[in-house]
Structure 1
């Protein structure tokens, strides 16, 4: 199963990179494309920082942190013995989204961001979404399934 999860990570990386190529080709010249007025727009941004553009121009710090986290997750993918849906999904999403953004940082020196929703101040990308959802899945796994091989039964019994 770990090899299948790594293949899913590769699909996430590919989707992230294809979306960014499309954004660079079609959105960068215009800068902004409104999809749903007042709710969703695509905005081309070259983010040289982390979330909310904090820690600007710390490229090598982010490259190092991303590499360490991805290596730890891949190691755990093969060594951890109590995987459930959430831990597998978390692994694929975090590694795929993290490496997608890592490729940008290494090759371009910045991450291409393009999704803007009106109720959220930051502009983000598909890889960011994957890392965020993967982190939520990892938290669900740790909180509800990590200590008990019958985690789903445990959650259902507590309701």
Structure 2
């Protein structure tokens, strides 16, 4: 239940922030929060991280479906302790679903966090990275 609740919360947060960006910024607009360090820059990314595999929406949507199918097949094997593990699974699922919703809705992903030295990213991307990192940490800590 923790994983699904986390996934739901991540998806809602991601979509809410993207809605705010889309309704208060023009596509391509950049707002410096810390000049030359951190900006909000509204773009539509047609690919994945770093813009790789542009316009491959069906491929990325298939990954979302595979993740959810794997989750539902394996959900009884996901340990509830430590709590961060099912939460991490939920972060991964919620982030993937948030970006998947964008791909279905607009044919790309709404990105806006712009650190100027890194590709522009979004809330879903943060949770995907956190989830994968925590899952890797769990397996590193619990390997024999």
The answer to whether 1:114 aligns with 2:112 is yes
What residue in structure 2 maps to residue 70 of structure 1?
68
What residue in structure 2 maps to residue 150 of structure 1?
none
What residue in structure 1 maps to residue 130 of structure 2?
133
Q: Work out the number of aligned pairs and report it.
A: 144
Q: Specify the structure having the higher radius of gyration (Cα).
A: 1
Compute the TM-score of the two structures, normalised by the length of structure 1: 0.83
Ranked by relative contact order (alpha carbons within 8 Å, sequence separation 6 or more), the top structure is 2
Q: Tell me the SS of whatever aligns to 2:111.
A: strand
Deviations 1:65-95 (A, max 9, x none): 1210233234333323474233112111101
Compute the TM-score of the two structures, normalised by the length of structure 2: 0.90
Deviations 1:99-149 (A, max 9, x none): 0111111111111011111332x11000000000110001001110255xx
**Alpha carbons of 1:79 and 1:95: their partners in 2 closer, same or farther (altered >3 Å)?**
same
Structure 2 alignment gaps of length 5 or more: none
Superposition pairs for residues 50-129 of structure 1, below 5 Å?
Answer: 50-81=48-79, 83-120=81-118, 122-129=119-126
Q: Which moves more between the two structures, 28-37 or 107-116?
A: 28-37
User: Where do 4+ consecutive residues of structure 1 move more than 4 Å?
Assistant: none
d(CA) in 1 for partners of 2:59, 2:96:
14
What residue in structure 2 maps to residue 157 of structure 1?
none
What residue in structure 2 maps to residue 47 of structure 1?
45
Structure 1 alignment gaps of length 5 or more: 148-159
